[in-house]
Chains A and B, each alone.
Chain A
Amino acid sequence: MKKNISINLFGTLYNIDEDAYNLMESYLQSMQRYFSRQEGGEEVADDIEHRVAELLWQRREAGMSAINIETVKEIIDTIGNPEQIASENGESQGMTSEDQNGTFKESFSQFTKEAERFTRDAYDKGRQHVNTHRFYRRMDDKILGGVCSGAATYFGTGDTLAWRLAAVLGTVLLSWVGIGLLIPVIYIVMWLLAPVAITPEDRLRMQGKEITPENLAQQVKDESQQPIVMQNNDGCAGGCLKVLLVFIGVIVLLPFISFALGLIVAIIAVAGIGTAMVGGLLGGMQFFPEFASFVSTCQPMLLTALICGLIVVVLPIYGIIRLLRGGKKMRASVLTSLIVVWLLALGLGIASTIATCIKGDEWSDTERDQREYKQSLKELKAIGWELKETKNLDEDFTDNRTGFGGLPRYCICLDTDKYDEDTYTAVLEKEVELTEDGSYHFVSLTEGFDAGLTYTFKYKDGGKDKEAILRPSDGGTHLNKIDFNWDMVSDGLLFPNVIGETDESWRSFSRYGEDWVCHWVDLPHVDAGKYKITIKANECSERIKIREVKVVKKNKQQASPTGKPAAAEEKK
């Protein structure tokens, strides 16, 4: 079913289909435009219109009630389109000038000589005027001036959106190298210079199609099926205002767009690099066991990050390729879900990357701890201590960080933070050899409150097995003002000013803000021989560093109230 309209041609009414009417009108218009360039052209156009009317009349007389597009095409074929007439008329123009100063004979022979050249020239000229591939702005698909849509149609590549995106992104990217105004300037120049595509002919020329009756009819047909809705062609004032707004917008927004784009590019790049690193990582695992350990520690998150990274990179690339190829438009639902997937991947990717980083950091901590643990065990061994037994205790339990005052580094750290619920045990053992009988001190020095530790010294007294146990509880006495000599500690760990002053079996003291706790027990008599000192850590409540546990010969002289350490004196 077609819409039918009636037209009045020289006083006669005709019924004509809408598409046929459009074709006919555009035909007559193009004729007018073409002949208006020539002298007496209006008359010719008028003659042609009369001829059209006559042909229509004839067809109506023949019983055609309504004129359809086929009829109009027939008529156009009969009369010819501007291009054909232009080529047919080439010679006549050449002849006109000859008429005035020569005879027809001359002009005729002149013509036969040069007709070909004239014809070709006129034809080319006609072609140029009538049938050129031209750049038009599109008013039916525009945001600013319809330049981008015009370009998309003119070049016949890509869809308008791609051109627009390219313009915006190009502006931003070029602004990074300092020529950000290039594209806006080109745009504005095109805006000012390029004409608007108004007629179906214009739209044919815009696409670079020849203006033949068939193409024109097809174009008009297409347009009648999918009407072209012209948007307002901004007047000069409106246009200028828009240009101004765009300029301001570009200047104000450029840094932001630039930043956002930079961020996206950076994210995509990072994700891409991350993806590329997988191979290296997997390869590296074979050669560096630490990598394997890292990967196995962070595996789930690393994997998530990489997959998300892939999605984040691949989806936009796919989208851009699709846009550039100008394939079928994606269904809105598909597009939406793809965008959602991309955003999810972006979020998840960022989150899992951060998580991987944190985990990786932890991993490196663990790695360091392990190294230090091994080192620590070595050092412990070097001074005679051996780790006998562990239970629920990870490698974290040793710590060889050097304390202040140049203390030996073989302290033991029992990091109890992680063992709130589990009970744990660590047993350290050391062999000591006492070369002579006598009275001794069994002493321990720890950093921090050492509740939960038990120090045991098994020895013989007159052949009998005895056991000295230091089991610190919170019943210790703090002795603050003790002259504590660090040399002495490293030498032999003697506390003369305390020992001998009191019968208390153990004491503790504090110094320099650190809780250095010293416990000792008097051993009135110990047989010479080889013995073992055992440290048992059991459910310690906090981090403890054991500096030293020793059996020291009791020296009455050292026990002077002045606290002058014997060892130091001996050195001197």
Chain B
Amino acid sequence: MDINNAKSQMRKGMLEYCILLLLKQQAAYANDIILRLRDAEMIVMEGTLYPLLTRLKNDGLLAYEWQESTQGPPRKYYKLTTNGEEALTQLNVSWEEISRTVNFLKQ
């Protein structure tokens, strides 16, 4: 087992969940998400984020709107849709389970 690979796989699996969590609090555009994720040490490669956002949007979990910015190019603000909130609820449950399992095993 490649420990680095396993770590990165775990992180990747968590990424979508984290994004949904992040966007539940407030709408954000790519830079905000990146900064938050970076603070949370969740992301290594920015480029990975964009396909993910697009796919979540295409799956109907996210929606966005363009906003002009005085600080650079126009920004795409993402927020959760109703579907997205539903999915997040499910994921929360799932996370609880996983976390319970892990904690249980840790003891």
Contacts and interface: CB of A to CB of B under 8 A. Distances in A.
A binds B: yes
A47 B72 contact: no
Given A40-B58, A79-B45, A50 B90 contact: no
A89 B51 contact: yes
A79 B51 contact: no
Given A88-B45, A104-B90, A44 B51 contact: yes
Number of contact residues on A: which range applies? 35 or more
A18 to B, nearest CB: 23
B99 interface: no
SS class of chain B's interface: helix, strand, loop or mixed?
helix
A51 B46 contact: yes
Interface in B25-63: 30-31, 44-48, 50-55, 58-59
Interface residues of B, number: 35
B12 A88 contact: yes
Contact of A50 (B12, B47, B76, B93): B76
Contact of A79 (B31, B47, B59): B47
A136 B34 CA distance: 38
Nearest to A99: B59
B94 interface: yes
B74 A10 contact: yes
A105 B97 contact: yes
B12 A91 contact: yes
Contacts of B31: 51, 54
B94 A104 contact: yes
B5 A116 contact: yes
Contact of A9 (B30, B52, B73): B73
A43 interface: yes
A88 B48 contact: yes
Nearest to A76: B47
A232 interface: no
A85 B93 CA distance: 29
B21 interface: no
Interface string A517-528: 000000000000
Interface stretch (A107-115, A262-270, A327-335, A552-560): A107-115
Interface of A: 9-12, 31, 35, 38-40, 43-44, 47-48, 50-51, 53-54, 57-58, 61, 78-81, 84-85, 88-89, 91-92, 95-96, 99, 103-105, 108, 111-112, 115-116, 119
